[in-house]
Chains A and B, each alone.
Chain A
């Protein structure tokens, strides 16, 4: 028995088996939820490389070889598995109140399995191909959940495919650079290829155009999952690459470039959120902003930039579920948010709380890591501040604009109302959002556990 088999092989297999039970949609979602929770629990509890007293004694190996390549999931990587499968569990739990997206349950397991494989594969250069495979698998998920158009999806596919050559060339150049550290030519080439590859994967300005398009054209719960899980895994992969190839971290241009790129992403994401009236596009703009913040966090020097990097993820994952769930419920209305406060007060409230939480309003989940980031950034790079200010003002403006739209009276006949289950879910999620804002210490503790995998950097 090996760890990659448990967290890569079994999720893919179970997703594949679940796919055959599409006729029993609610049961399929519940089964997917239980399986995902099981994988998260196993990641939390199961010790690796130690003999377990089950039967004749079972030892779970951390590596597995396929066709001469290895997949490694060691003890230090377990917190990332808990994060990924925990996120999947919460997403599947949320799915219970979004019937139109029921079909995505088996795909969630398969995508999580493949993305885990992309983090575990050695050497690193295969990761881009595995991510592409995961995203190709996600396309039927968009189609089966009644997508309106394929323009955004096509662009998503194009950008993701264009990342592959750069990532593979980066891996090739990095291997040569490691074998020949005296020559800086291949170091620079690896850095350039890598920057281009990650730009396509992360939607760095101006390569993020597919994100709002996909958000608008598809079910918000489906697109939200892909946007979030892809960004998180790619960011972890980037940090893993920087952790493995130490010489990349020492490139003197890296921190200012990261700050500029991250700052631009925050500013443009926020500004577009502020100017765009279509609320369905909001998760995409927020993803761009959050990716920008994560890139800025990596660029910081001194006291544990990785802790801050990981700390940004925890509230982000929770609030995104909250936002996408609410948007998916409102997307059933003919006008998504206009007058929604009267028919769907809890759902509308959830959207506003999540927007303001992402905008770093005090006492909400997004505030503590945002405050730490600003403090550290103030000490090291003041020029990024105006960019961040533009982004956050834009997001605040978006929150106020959507709030005004929500409280406008409308003549529309409402066919759908909130159920008590939905209300209870949003109340609990809202409380979690406040609790995370009130207990920032817990977020930092979890973040410190998450970054144990990157031991060379610390």
Chain B
């Protein structure tokens, strides 16, 4: 039943990735991240048990809530990367990459025996993560990029190996990345400039 709506979830994940890339307010980005985890949850339920997928969603939302708790610290610096030229660059690169992935996905399917819509959903998220951490030096942008990357990979990997232990360890890694982001933001400042 849910697989019929897969296209909706894929578009939802793409929209949330784009929103994280371009939105000028960190508070809005947090909402986009929460929606992204929701989209990843619906995609994961096609292969994982509902309980396991739900745990992934809760972990994601937990990290989102943690980020929300320090949003005032990040808000100022977040705006500095929201100039128009930067936004145009990020969106162009992102859409270009998605077009390439859309064309390459059937070939990739022969490497990874995963349903095509899951593979595409996962790859779109994964590539969104790479663009996020590849085009910024800000600690929080890098951490959100890594989390997006991991959630894309989890969508793909869940249909290859729906193991509880791997899911648990991946959840731990996700929490770790979130906590590291918060720690570095609080101790070193929101951007990664030299702090003496």
Contact = CB atoms under 8 A, between A and B. Distances in A.
B166 A165 contact: no
A136 B150 contact: no
Contacts of A189: 111
Interface string A153-169: 11001100110110011
Given A139-B183, A140-B183, A168-B166, A154 B139 contact: yes
Contact of B169 (A130, A158, A161): A130
- Chain A contact-residue range equals 20 to 34
Interface in A113-164: 125-126, 129-130, 132-133, 136-137, 139-140, 143, 147-151, 153-154, 157-158, 161-162, 164
A139 B169 contact: no
Contacts of A67: 164-165, 168
A136 B173 contact: yes
B98 interface: no
A424 B65 CA distance: 52
A154 B146 CA distance: 10
A143 B137 contact: no
Contacts of A165: 126, 153, 157
Given A125-B166, A161-B146, A168 B161 contact: yes
B140 to A, nearest CB: 10
Given A126-B165, A133-B173, A136-B173, A150 B192 contact: yes
A172 interface: yes
Contact of A149 (B149, B173, B192): B192
B53 to A, nearest CB: 18
Interface of B is mostly: helix
A148 B194 contact: yes
Nearest to A132: B173
A335 B29 CA distance: 43
A172 B180 contact: no
B83 interface: no
A23 interface: no
Contacts of A27: none
Contacts of B164: 67-68
Interface residues of B, number: 35
A278 interface: no
A417 interface: no
A133 B172 contact: yes
A133 B170 CA distance: 10
B150 A172 contact: no
A154 B137 contact: yes
Nearest to A192: B111
Given A154-B139, A161-B146, A143 B192 contact: no
A164 B188 contact: no
A158 B194 contact: no
A67 B166 CA distance: 11
Interface in B155-196: 157, 160-161, 164-166, 168-170, 172-173, 176-177, 179-180, 183-184, 187-188, 192-196
B10 to A, nearest CB: 19
Interface in A56-109: 67-69
B142 interface: yes
Contacts of A130: 169
B17 to A, nearest CB: 17
A68 B150 CA distance: 24
A386 B157 CA distance: 42
A132 B165 contact: no
Which residue among A67, A125, A126, A168 has the maximum number of chain B CB atoms within 10 Å of its CB?
A168
Interface of A: 67-69, 125-126, 129-130, 132-133, 136-137, 139-140, 143, 147-151, 153-154, 157-158, 161-162, 164-165, 168-169, 172, 189
Interface of B: 111-112, 126, 133, 137, 139, 142, 146, 149-150, 153, 157, 160-161, 164-166, 168-170, 172-173, 176-177, 179-180, 183-184, 187-188, 192-196
21 contacts: A67-B164, A68-B164, A69-B165, A126-B165, A126-B169, A129-B172, A143-B187, A147-B188, A148-B194, A148-B195, A150-B184, A153-B184, A154-B139, A154-B192, A161-B173, A161-B177, A164-B150, A168-B161, A169-B112, A169-B160, A172-B160
